[in-house]
Chains A and B, each alone.
Chain A
Amino acid sequence: MIRYTLYRLVQLIPVLLMVSVFVFVMIYALPGDVIDALAGESEAQDPLVRAALEKELGLDKPVYVRYFVWLGKIVIYGDFGKSITTGRSIGVEVFKRIPATVYLAIVAVTLSLIIAIPMGTIAAVRRRTWVDYVVTTASVTGISFPQFWFAILCVLFFSLFLGWLPASEYKSPFDDLGLSIKHLILPASALGVRLAAITTRLTRSAMLDEIRKEYVDTARSLGLPERRVIFKYTLRNALIPTITVAGLQFGNLLGGTVVIEAIFAWPGIGLTLYDAIVSRDYPMVQASVLILATAFVLVNLLVDLTYRLLNPRIRLP
């Protein structure tokens, strides 16, 4: 296991190198550039103004030179540079946002699993009964809801109508855990419900596959209690695809919650990345994507290691 973990960590290096090249080059493929964003429309066409700004921002050098300078600063000094838009240190800005994003993502995925695993299991065990139909209908409905609409509905109902929860804002769990949880419930639910709907269907499908296998019949014929057959044996095998998808969902949430962050005024990395793309803040986009890619790969490593916990017979390469 340790050897496997080390092997996977070493594999990170070529993966991240490829990601860094890709993201560095792709941002320049977007129409327009940062000079168009910073200079006025007329001045962006003025060759003198353009040349001065390009020199100021280091854009007068060839792309490959800029890439190696950028990479070198990150590897040697841990310096991601400064945001072209805000003028602030990117490392500070991005790493300030990551806790809020990770906090939201962890809770949203956990919530989705807490809902989805029992629901999917019950639906599979009680296949073709009213329980199954209710769960299936609920999960299809959950997938169909536009997330932003559902989020706003939650705010209006739980915050305005009932007055139970605050409408928005992030509070750090290290400052006031109770208040932090109160502020987290609505955005995490808005994200988690849709994830739960997807995961419920997946869990149900995986459980149905496992329930049909011979070892389940064998276990039943040996007189084992049904509860034990389902939860100790069948579910553990069915969870493997579920955990895989949960890991992918978590990775997606790290950079893909722009709408939820905007609605709930959640200072996460999604909005930062979106604004950076719109304003062509190249260093911020490049750094953010690199950091998110690293996080995504690490999450997938954790998922792979979890397989062995669920099923010790699984041999890791």
Chain B
Amino acid sequence: MARQHTGHEDEFSRRQFLAGTGGALVGMSALGLAGQAAAAKRHPQRGGTLNYGASGDASGLDAHRHNTNHVSAPLSVMYTGLTDLDQAGNIVPGLAESWEPNKDLTSWVFHLRKGVLFHNGREVDAEAIKLNFERIKNPKTGGDWERGAIANVDRAEVIDRHTVRLYAVAPSVTMPANVMHYPTRMMAPDAFDTAADHPIGTGPFKFVSWTRYSETRMERFENYWETDAEGNNLPYLDAIIGKPKQEPSVRLTALRTGQVDFIDTMAQADITPFNQDHSNDYHIWEWHRGGIFTVFNFRNGPFQDKRLRTAASHAIDRNAIHHAVFYGHGAMADQPYPEGNPWHLEGITSLEYDPERAKAILKEARAVGTEVSLLCLSTWVIGRETAQVVQDLLSAVGFKVEVNLLDMVPWRQARTKGAFSASIQGNTFRYDPDDFFGRNLYSKSQYAKILSGWHNERYDQLIEEAKRTVDTARRKAMYTEAWNIANAELPFFFLHELTDTSAAAKAVQGYQPGSAGALAYHGGGLRAAYMTT
């Protein structure tokens, strides 16, 4: 079982240099990224059809409207973005072979790879990119998550056929991460109107059919531009058939009985026995998905009082969550980035589990019996289980906790109105730290306003400065100071890493997930997978 770790320091500034000088082209050729698909040949032996047991199904086909998660949704392999990922999670050239910002980071010029085609044969040009950004930013056509991901993109401008400039709302180094295929998926503009029935992307696989709750069929895109190190055209697979199987035991059974060849996740309780009994029979990968944390509401309720936030944080035993919810998998965490990741922060101070201290604080504050409404999304299993554990722990020190499980719409309303005392929230892995530290806690972020509603001047200053700082070490120092402020003020109390475990039959070769679970990335994942008999 492989645990994926990123291991590069200062990769951003080196990549930026390469992108700016055109050295990227030389580098990418060495890695096998020939610009013209026609020149490449198909691998003579590698192919096959992958049956993919997915934990969920798409809620729609329009990739600008529906979140096509790159770690679990089969449809995600239909798309690429201006930038791409490598296996370690670094941002590398994608549809754009290079990019450079202006001096004050308020605009970025992307130089597009020539000869890249959409699945319908239309060339990917600057006009297509511009139309994509306009469509995503329009609330009538872009989903809220997709719009939020490029909130800092003000507009796109066509410079010439293969050059596009993106203007930023505020100076930021995060643009390259924001235009990667997760979250920003490019679709053919001449097929926007039919995106809900037949989406057209630029990825290694193209759409064939979708029967909701039953099957998603994709086949190999013969004109995909990426090649392997030998110059063979990627992908190798002939087709992928996504088969949604929501129930974890059914999904795992489907893998074990050969109904599917690959599953994206399994239940936490199944991981250890499966590893013990079947590690020789299947490929198994554990990967970092994100994190889970408690949000304290600064707008309403008892946690406006810092003493109560402190008491609640002392009352939470991360170890209990580690065992009861995660069955010992993943790691307890006091920050969003795991050890080994370049953005893992050193020197972080966080409150320790101390129920006696929690009780004493509550008694001092004359707050024993304080009623707490703990909000959680009802359809999120891990969140629900964590909420139950947190409820028990808080109740044990003297809070009176009610877990408020709501489905999506009333849950969103409750967050917007601040109708909760605390909530259990999660985050998916963010390739740029501003997408966590900025989006979730920077007081001017729309999203932060509906979470804790916390405001700290120094925190905001640090985030604004980090956004404008190219040097990774300096950015890291700023985020360290910022996160320590957050850990002292407690808008959040970080609980645990979210990890997932995927598995595949031995017949699946050439596949390795990305460090944060990406199904497809530059030269790897499902782009390089193939079946053996």
Cβ–Cβ < 8 Å partners of B250 in chain A? 152, 155, 167-168, 263-265
A79 within 8 A of B: no
A31-B409, A32-B410 as given contacts; A38 in contact with B253, CB under 8 Å = no
Cα A32 to Cα B407 in complex, Å, equals 10
* Contact assessment for B59 and A43 in the assembled complex, using a CB-CB cutoff below 8 Å: no
Whole-angstrom distance between the Cβ of A273 and the nearest chain B Cβ: 12
Question: Which of B8-16, B211-219, B309-317, B519-527 is the interface stretch?
Answer: B211-219
Cα A144 to Cα B244 in complex, Å, equals 29
A181 within 8 A of B: no
Cβ–Cβ < 8 Å partners of A163 in chain B? 257
Cβ–Cβ < 8 Å partners of A159 in chain B? 253, 257
Cα A97 to Cα B446 in complex, Å, equals 39
B363 within 8 A of A: no
Which chain B residue shows the least CB distance to A281?
Answer: B59
Cα A169 to Cα B251 in complex, Å, equals 11
Question: Which chain A residues in 32-82 approach chain B with CB under 8 Å?
Answer: 32-33, 36-45, 49, 52-53, 56
Contact of B257 among A85, A96, A160 (CB under 8 A): A160
Question: Which of B27-35, B137-145, B164-172, B392-400 is the interface stretch?
Answer: B137-145
* Contact assessment for A168 and B60 in the assembled complex, using a CB-CB cutoff below 8 Å: no
* Contact assessment for B409 and A53 in the assembled complex, using a CB-CB cutoff below 8 Å: no
* Contact assessment for A43 and B211 in the assembled complex, using a CB-CB cutoff below 8 Å: no
Give A150-162 as 1s and 0s: 1 = Cβ < 8 Å from B's Cβ atoms: 0010011001100
Q: How many interface residues does B have (CB within 8 Å)?
A: 44
* Contact assessment for A152 and B247 in the assembled complex, using a CB-CB cutoff below 8 Å: yes
B246 within 8 A of A: yes
Whole-angstrom distance between the Cβ of B210 and the nearest chain A Cβ: 9
Main secondary structure of the interface of A (DSSP, over half): helix
| Best-surrounded residue of A32, A85, A280 (most CB of chain B within 10 A) | A32
Contact of B408 among A39, A93, A267, A278 (CB under 8 A): A278
Cα A167 to Cα B65 in complex, Å, equals 32
Cα A163 to Cα B196 in complex, Å, equals 38
Cβ–Cβ < 8 Å partners of A275 in chain B? 59
* Contact assessment for B254 and A156 in the assembled complex, using a CB-CB cutoff below 8 Å: no
Cα A168 to Cα B450 in complex, Å, equals 40
Whole-angstrom distance between the Cβ of A83 and the nearest chain B Cβ: 8
Cβ–Cβ < 8 Å partners of B245 in chain A? 167-168, 265
B511 within 8 A of A: no
Whole-angstrom distance between the Cβ of B116 and the nearest chain A Cβ: 27
Cβ–Cβ < 8 Å partners of B410 in chain A? 31-32
Which chain A residue shows the least CB distance to B195?
Answer: A87
Which chain A residue shows the least CB distance to B379?
Answer: A278
Give A264-276 as 1s and 0s: 1 = Cβ < 8 Å from B's Cβ atoms: 1111100110010
Cα A30 to Cα B406 in complex, Å, equals 12
* Contact assessment for A56 and B259 in the assembled complex, using a CB-CB cutoff below 8 Å: no
* Contact assessment for A262 and B247 in the assembled complex, using a CB-CB cutoff below 8 Å: yes
Per CB-CB distance, the 5 closest pairs between chain A and chain B, nearest first, are A87-B196, A40-B144, A32-B409, A42-B446, A267-B214
Q: What are 19 residue pairs bridging A and B, where the CB atoms are less than 8 Å apart in the complex?
A: A31-B409, A36-B413, A37-B408, A38-B144, A39-B144, A40-B144, A42-B450, A43-B139, A49-B139, A52-B140, A56-B140, A155-B249, A159-B253, A160-B253, A168-B254, A170-B214, A267-B212, A268-B213, A278-B407
| Residue ranges of A at the interface with B (Cβ–Cβ < 8 Å) | 30-33, 36-45, 49, 52-53, 56, 85-88, 93, 96-97, 152, 155-156, 159-160, 163, 166-170, 261-268, 271-272, 275, 278-280
Given A163-B257, A272-B212; 10 other pairs, CB 8 A cutoff: A36-B416, A38-B144, A56-B140, A87-B197, A88-B197, A155-B253, A156-B253, A170-B214, A263-B250, A278-B408
